[in-house]
A and B are shown apart, each in its own frame.
Chain A
């Protein structure tokens, strides 16, 4: 029904912060983490030498810049946007909404604003909602923007403990990155890079599985997840055994659903944008995605859960010669409650 008619992205900082740059501060143990997870760099809004947010930018500022580029590419006016959806797990505030903050920044007078929080799958939930708003006739154009801002939360603490840090502190600081990406979903087929949204779906079918990853609020008491006090500095908790065993299972289940419901085989897709968390996890998906053109961008950006799939899509369109009729499969699986989604896109003529 709808089309993606423009994409945009923004990564803060002058340039990506590499493991080599970080090893000057934290020693060569950085390489243990980098090699293990296959994350070679990440973008930080904070200065990696001081932990200060020099540019004074936050999550909604990243979104604003990504949205601005997407609007430009889509060649539509801001006033034509009827729906603005954000997907982030690290908003500037609990309230106000990130979507309303962006609405103000882009000077959009009237719109429906929605904030989603669904880890890596949230952008697909956003596109699903946008598609249905367009189908229902409520709006003609929608923005879906995914983003994260992790460095302001974790990196300053890591710097303070540079002599005594734990591997989990390094992980939380270094496998995640800051940034945003946006898409414009429209009823109309205009703009410079049009993708027909053939199918979009998002489901939660594995809520009874143990969580692989939890992001707590400061001060939360979360006995449910086996941690007495997830206070500041311990906000992220990883359950590696669950992630390593269940992510491949969930991803395979999603692809089987696509096969059975849509009749597609993996060879039908010229590009696959799958989970972007880190190279180690991407490699574990080999059984499902063997011999595919899997587009992975997380080794450069770090993991930006809310923005990863859209960042990869934007980068794919910018760097690869995606041809008319090429089919792109986007699959997202998040590991806190294993919510998943997928989107089948076809490159079409404007």
Chain B
């Protein structure tokens, strides 16, 4: 599925975020997890959730830029806890980036 189809299909975007961006890109299978461990609202960076680290946050940002051609911009300390808190909040963040369009597609 190309980036425009993903960006215009909420359900498919959520599926891509959970399965490709989070599960595959972060190699969660190496930690013995299955794709079902990533729910829509699973806390990604909290101990009670997946307990991801700061480099995982960078990985998500690079993945969004690479696949969707959106510029994430400078990552702040709280980005992981807010924008990247759950798969659903990542989808909201992606749509926000897409809609504002001030974030022009990257090269």
Contact = CB atoms under 8 A, between A and B. Distances in A.
Contacts of B63: 167
Interface residues of B, number: 18
Interface in B52-103: 53-55, 58-59, 61-63, 65-66, 71-72, 74-75
Per DSSP, chain B at the interface is helix
A33 B107 contact: no
A251 B65 CA distance: 36
B36 interface: no
Interface in A222-246: 227-228, 238-241, 244
Per DSSP, chain A at the interface is helix
A27 B25 CA distance: 19
A166 B59 CA distance: 7
A168 B55 CA distance: 7
Contacts of A165: 62, 66
Given A238-B55, A240-B55, A35 B62 contact: no
Contact of A166 (B53, B62, B72): B62
B71 A36 contact: no
Interface string A148-181: 0000000000000001111110110000000000
B74 A35 contact: yes
Contact of B62 (A163, A167, A227): A167
A244 B65 contact: no
A112 interface: no
A178 B72 CA distance: 30
A166 B55 CA distance: 11
Which 3 A-B residue pairs are closest in the complex by CB-CB distance?
Answer: A167-B59, A167-B62, A167-B58
25 contacts: A23-B107, A27-B65, A27-B66, A27-B106, A27-B107, A29-B65, A29-B66, A29-B106, A32-B58, A32-B61, A32-B62, A32-B72, A32-B74, A35-B74, A35-B75, A163-B66, A165-B66, A166-B62, A167-B55, A167-B61, A167-B62, A167-B63, A227-B30, A240-B54, A240-B55
